[in-house]
Amino acid sequence: MINKRKREIVNMLLQQKLDTTDEEELIDMLIDSPLAVDIDKEEAKNMTFGEKIADKFSAIAGSWTFIFLFIIFLLAWIIVNAIVLKNDAIDPYPFILLNLVLSCIAAVQAPIIMMSQNREAKKDSLRNQNDYKTDLKSELILEDLHHKMETLINNQNRIIKMYEKTKEEKK
């Protein structure tokens, strides 16, 4: 029953059919097959041009530098239109053109950032699956090592008992 359960776990872990019945072969397969994957490197290889641009855009749009520069832009727009060009302002108070520009920026910026976040969520999911497989593999190997250690200790205790018995018989 334990061997069958381990085979099911190993099948799930490796996602392939195993035709071995020997538990030792299963453990050897686990030890010999690497499961850990660098998700970031794998994803970087498969990223499209659009995904790269979305990531760069999100990195810029989500930075304090962008926020401070945008605040400076807004203040400059307001100062130029409300104070400097008071009578000949391009966008007089209540700054309807500025409102339109901000709406357009938000309409474009939000979906791009969402694309980047969706891709990051997929990477997190792959990372979690990779961690689970690695943990499961470690657990199976540790369980096998624990079983082998118990067997060694039991054999050692039997040898000590046999030695002591032989020693007493010689007396």
DSSP string, 71-112: HHHHHHHHHIIIIITTTT-SS-TTTHHHHHHHHHHHHHHHHH
Closest CA to 94 of 107, 78, 106: 78
In a domain, 153, yes or no: yes
pLDDT bin (cut points 50, 70, 90) of residue 81 is: very high
Q: What whole-number distance in Å separates Cα of residue 127 and Cα of residue 37?
A: 8
Res 27: pLDDT? 67
* Confidence check: pLDDT of 139 > 80: yes
Whether residue 113 has pLDDT greater than 80: yes
Least confident piece of the model among 20-34, 63-77, 107-121 = 20-34
Asked whether residue 62 carries a pLDDT value surpassing 70, the answer given is: yes
How would residue 8 be classed by pLDDT, with cut points 50, 70 and 90?
low
Does pTM top 0.85 for this prediction?
no
Instruction: Supply the pLDDT for residue 92.
Output: 92
Structural domain count, the chain: 1
- Tell me if 1 is assigned to some domain: no
Q: What is the mean pLDDT of residues 100-105?
A: 96
Answer whether residue 25 shows pLDDT above 80.
Answer: no
Least confident of 38-42, 115-119, 157-161: 38-42
For 12, 58, 86, 103, 107, the CA distances from 117, given in Å and listed in that order, are 29, 9, 42, 21, 16
Query: Residue 20 domain-assigned?
Result: no
Residue with tokens 């019945």: 21
- If you count DSSP H runs as helices and E runs as strands, how many of each does the chain have, helices first? 6, 0
Give pLDDT, residue 72.
97
Cα(70)–Cα(64) distance, integer angstroms: 10
Residue 105's domain comprises 34-170
Q: Flag whether 154 is in a domain.
A: yes
Cα separation, 160 vs 142, in Å, equals 26
What's the CA gap between 5 and 16, in Å, rounded? 15
Name the residue with higher pLDDT: 32 or 53: 53
On whether residue 27 sits in a domain, the answer given is no
- Whether residue 7 is contained in a domain is answered as no
Let me know if residue 6 belongs to a domain. Answer: no
134 compared with 158, residue with greater pLDDT: 158
Q: Do the domain assignments include residue 89? A: yes
